[in-house]
Copies of this chain bind each other. A is one copy, B any other.
Amino acid sequence: MVLLDPDLVGSAIASAPAEFTITPRSAERTVTVGGRSVVMVGVGGPPHTMDLDRGRRTGNLEDFEHFVRLTQHYDVIHTNNPAVEPQDIPVPVRHLEVTKAQLLLTDKVPFAFARGRGQVTDCMEMARIAHGMTWDEFTAAPHVHTVINTNSPRQIDVPMCLGLIQFAELNQVCVVTPFTLSGAMAPVTLAGALTLQHAEAMAAITLTQLVRPGAPVVYGAFTSNVDMRSGAPAFGTPEAVKAALASGQLARFLGLPWRSSGVNTSNAPDAQAGYETMTNMMGAVLGGANVVIHAAGWLESGLSASLEKMVLDVEMLQIIAEVFQPVAAGEEDIALEAILGVPPGGHFFGADHTMARYDTAFYEPIVFSRQNFGQWTEAGSLDAAQRANAVWKRVVADFEAPPIDTALRDELEEFVARRAAEGGAPPES
C-alpha cells in the first residue's frame, strides 16, 4: 500500500501537459489530445469477433486485420486500437503481429498493450523503425499510445505499473483508466465511484510524472455501473452519462486531457445498441471528451468487436462531427431573396439558391437508409446491420494499404522475423 503525499501528487499532476500531439508515420494523421480536440478511437480489447455471417467467434488475426483496415479507411476514426485479441497467434509473438498490422495497413497512430517490458520494447522498436527515426528522435515526441487500467479498487498490477513507467520513460502516451464499475469495484453511489476513480487516476498519473515530468498522459474515465440483479457490467446507462459529465469536470479541474467512451450492453447490433451507444456518446462528446475510446465496434459489454457495429458507429461519428460544424449565417445563407423568390405553397427544389448548393448542403449517410418503404422493401427490407454487413465487406475487399518506404518495410519485417525466431517476448505479470 503506497500512500502519496498530497503535495507530491499536486506537483506531479501540474507537470503533466494539458495538450500534446501524437504523430504516426504519416504526419497528416497526427492527432491533438487536449484542448478543443476530440480523438475518436475504435473498440479495443474484446476476446471475440461478431459478424452477421459467422456469428460470434474467438478473435483471430484475420478479423483483427479487418478492423485495422476499417480504421484506416474511415477518416472519423483517428487512431488504431486493438479491436480484438487474435488468439490464433501465440502470446509471445502476438504483439509483433498486431503491431506489424497496424504499421503496415495504416498510417495512423498505433496502439501497444502494456504487457511487460519485453513486449513494449518490441512494439516501440517497430514504431521507431516505421518512422525511420533514431531512438533519440523517436522519444522526443509521442508516437504510440496505450491504455492503463487500474485493478479497482485501489490497486495497479505489475504489467500496468511497468507500462506506466516504460511509456513515461519513452515519452509515449498512457491513457490512465480506473475500472470503477459502481456497485462492484467501486461504491454503489456515483459520487463514491467518481471519488475512487479520481484517486486512482491521480495515483497512476503521479507515477508517470515521477518517472518523467511532462510525460504525455490522459485522465481516463470509465465509470459505469453494474446491473444489481446479476452483477454484470452495464454500459450506455443513465448513470454512465452522469459519470461522464462529472469526469470531464474532474479532468479539467486537474488541467488534463479527458478520455471517455462510446459503449453499450447489447448482444446484437440492434436498436438497443444504437440507443445505448448514442446515449453514452452524448455524455462523452457533450461532456467535452478529448479522447473517445470504443467509439466504434463495441458490442456485448466489450466482449465482442462487431464488424457491422463498426460501420454503424462510423455513421454515428460522422453525424456527430457534422453536428459540431458551425452553421453559416451570412446574408446568402439567411436567403431572404431566395425565400421571396418562391411563392407561398411552392418549393425550393429548382431555385437558383438550391441548385448552387444542393450537392454539398447536407450530410450523406454511408449506411443509414433514406429509401422510402417501397424502395426499401424491393431492396430486400434489409435492416441497418444487414446493410452494414455489405459495407464493411466492400471496404475490406477494396482496401489498399497506405504506402511505406520499401527499406523501412523490409527492416520492419526482418525485425519481426528475427524476434519471432528468438521466441518473441512473454507477457509479464
Contact = CB atoms under 8 A, between A and B. Distances in A.
State the number of copies, please: 2
Contacts of A376: 267
Interface stretch (A76-84, A131-139, A180-188, A206-214): A180-188
A153 interface: yes
Interface string A310-326: 00100110011011010
A286 B343 CA distance: 35
A168 interface: no
Nearest to A187: B335
A425 B190 CA distance: 57
Contacts of A153: 339, 342, 344-348
Contacts of A192: 333-336, 338-339, 353
Contact of A348 (B56, B188, B303): B188
Nearest to A385: B271
A371 B363 CA distance: 36
A399 interface: no
Contacts of A323: 238, 241-242, 279, 282
Q: Which of A187, A237, A267, A335 has the most CB of B within 10 A?
A: A187
A37 interface: no
A312 B273 CA distance: 11
Contacts of A58: none
A328 interface: yes
A239 interface: yes
Given A315-B275, A327-B242, A267 B369 contact: yes
Interface string A208-227: 00000000000000000111
Contacts of A227: 362, 364, 370
Nearest to A356: B188
A109 interface: no
Contact of A319 (B279, B329, B369): B279
B300 A154 contact: no
Interface stretch (A9-17, A93-101, A228-236, A290-298): A228-236
B237 A362 contact: yes
Nearest to A301: B372
A272 interface: yes
A346 B1 CA distance: 14
Nearest to A267: B376
A274 interface: yes
A199 B344 CA distance: 13
Interface of A: 1, 56, 151, 153-155, 182-192, 195-196, 199, 225-232, 234, 236-239, 241-242, 246, 265-279, 282, 286, 300-301, 303-304, 309, 312, 315-316, 319-320, 322-323, 325, 327-330, 332-336, 338-339, 342-349, 351, 353-354, 357-359, 361-364, 367-373, 376-377, 381, 383-385, 388
20 contacts: A153-B346, A154-B339, A155-B344, A155-B345, A183-B361, A185-B347, A185-B348, A187-B335, A188-B348, A199-B339, A230-B371, A236-B368, A237-B362, A270-B270, A271-B312, A271-B384, A274-B278, A279-B319, A282-B286, A301-B372
For the complex of A and B, the 3 pairs showing the least CB-CB separation, nearest first, are A274-B274, A192-B335, A238-B322
Given A182-B362, A228-B358, A275-B316, 15 more contacts: A151-B345, A154-B343, A183-B354, A189-B333, A190-B328, A190-B333, A191-B329, A195-B336, A239-B322, A267-B369, A267-B376, A272-B274, A272-B368, A274-B278, A278-B278
